[in-house]
């Protein structure tokens, strides 16, 4: 599903060039749940942004679903993200002026696929995450856990091939975070999607099929989980 070849990413800070990623290569199969583990500032979010085409590598190749993302135009990368990638963020990134239902339907509107069938599928997804009775509520009326469950529904509603999650439980208490992680894991596996999650938590990493750790700009395999898929 994802192939990274000799990725390097540099950022300029004043007169200094800071290298975040240095020669990263990896291959992630369809249907895998892979955790990218690393401390704050190690380059986890940068790697997810490169995979999503939200940023461009200084050197190297990014292939997602058979397409080479880093060579696409800005417009084509945007269209690809809308169709093929779902996002779950630490701080939810919900639109506060839209209702629960409107937030979930937004990806379908952007993709031009909103119709009676997809609208019904969206409601079924909201039922899966326990929010079917909150369709007309606004995000600021939801708890943190409910907001992240809404964000998960929004990330899956357009049936993306790939889901990217950046510290999705980092803004939640431990118990709520465990519930949200379990829900995300279940929904992604039920749909046979690929999930790449960035986290600094080794407890969360233990739930994945495979763990890749970023250290000094390098990506290293930590272990392969023996948990059943």
- 221 vs 62, higher pLDDT: 62
Residue 17: per-residue pLDDT: 87
Quick check: 225 and 210 in contact, CB under 8 A?
Answer: yes
| Residue 136 host element (H or E) | none
How confident is residue 48, by pLDDT bands cut at 50, 70 and 90?
very high
Express each pLDDT in 191-219 by its tens digit.
999 999 999 888 888 889 999 999 999 99
Tell me the percentage of the chain whose pLDDT exceeds 90: 76
Mean pLDDT of the chain: 91
Reported as type and span, the H/E element at residue 73 is none
pLDDT (0 to 100) of residue 44: 93
**What confidence category does residue 224 fall into, taking pLDDT thresholds of 50, 70 and 90?**
low
32 or 203, which is more confident? 32
**Which CATH fold topology does 28-57+73-224 show?**
Rossmann fold (3.40.50)
| Domain ranges for the chain | 28-57+73-224
Alpha helices by DSSP H, 88-195:
100-111, 116-128, 144-156, 174-190
Residue 40 pLDDT level (bands cut at 50, 70, 90): confident
pLDDT digits (tens, 9 = 90+) for 75-111: 999 999 989 999 998 888 999 999 999 999 999 999 9
Surface-to-core class of residue 57, CB atoms within 10 Å of its CB (0-12 exposed, 13-18 middle, 19+ buried): buried
99 CA to centre of own chain: 22
């Amino acid at each position: 599903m994802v192939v990274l070849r000799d990725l390097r990413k540099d950022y300029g800070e004043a007169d200094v060039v800071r290298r975040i990623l240095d020669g990263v290569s990896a291959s992630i199969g369809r249907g895998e749940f892979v955790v990218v583990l690393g401390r704050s500032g190690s380059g986890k979010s940068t790697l997810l942004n490169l995979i999503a085409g939200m940023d461009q590598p200084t050197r190297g190749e990014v292939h997602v679903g058979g397409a080479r993302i880093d060579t696409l135009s800005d417009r084509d990368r945007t269209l690809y993200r809308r169709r093929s990638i779902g996002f779950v963020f630490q701080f939810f990134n919900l639109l506060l002026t839209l209702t629960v239902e409107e937030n979930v339907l937004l990806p379908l509107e952007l993709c031009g696929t909103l119709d009676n069938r997809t609208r019904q599928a969206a409601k079924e997804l909201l039922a899966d995450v326990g929010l079917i009775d909150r369709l007309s509520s606004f995000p600021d009326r939801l708890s943190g856990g409910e907001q992240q469950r809404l964000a998960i529904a929004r990330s899956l509603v357009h049936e993306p091939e790939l889901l990217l999650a950046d510290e999705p439980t980092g803004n939640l208490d431990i118990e709520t975070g465990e519930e949200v992680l379990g829900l995300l894991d279940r929904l992604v596996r039920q749909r046979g999607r690929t999930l790449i999650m960035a986290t600094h938590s080794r407890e969360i990493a233990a739930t994945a099929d495979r763990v890749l750790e970023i250290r000094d700009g390098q990506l290293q395999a930590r272990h392969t989980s023996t948990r059943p898929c």
